[in-house]
Amino acid sequence: MFGLLSLAAIPAALYSTRLKNVDLPQAVGGEAVAGTLLGLIAVLLARGARVKVERTLSRTGEGTARLGKWLGLLGLCLGLTAALSLAFFGLLLWSE
């Protein structure tokens, strides 16, 4: 769930730019924070779920834990990429 939420932060940030008082750098900053934190939470929860699945005999839920881990990693990478792009944008504005 947190992995999907970390990926949903991108469209939410883009939609928030249609508001009057939110510009694109603010939206990217919000997406960077939300995507990174939610992705990190998803990876940690998936890790705990995989440990719990390994202790059971039937191994049900192993695929769900794996999917949650990959969605969380993707959200984490996209959030860190947004933070990096915002840092370079700030560097370009500073160098003018």
Q: pLDDT tens-digit profile of 21-42?
A: 888 888 889 889 999 999 999 9
**Residue 66 structural domain:** 2-91
The reply to whether 61 falls in a domain is yes
Number of domains in the chain: 1
The reply to whether 35 falls in a domain is yes
Q: If we measure between CA atoms, which residue out of 22, 23, 12, 16 comes closest to residue 79?
A: 12
For residue 10, what pLDDT is reported? 86
The reply to whether 13 falls in a domain is yes
The reply to whether 96 falls in a domain is no
pLDDT above 90: percentage of residues in the chain: 32
- In this predicted structure, the answer to whether residue 54 has a pLDDT above a threshold of 90 is no
The reply to whether 16 falls in a domain is yes
Confidence of residue 83 (pLDDT cuts 50, 70, 90): very high
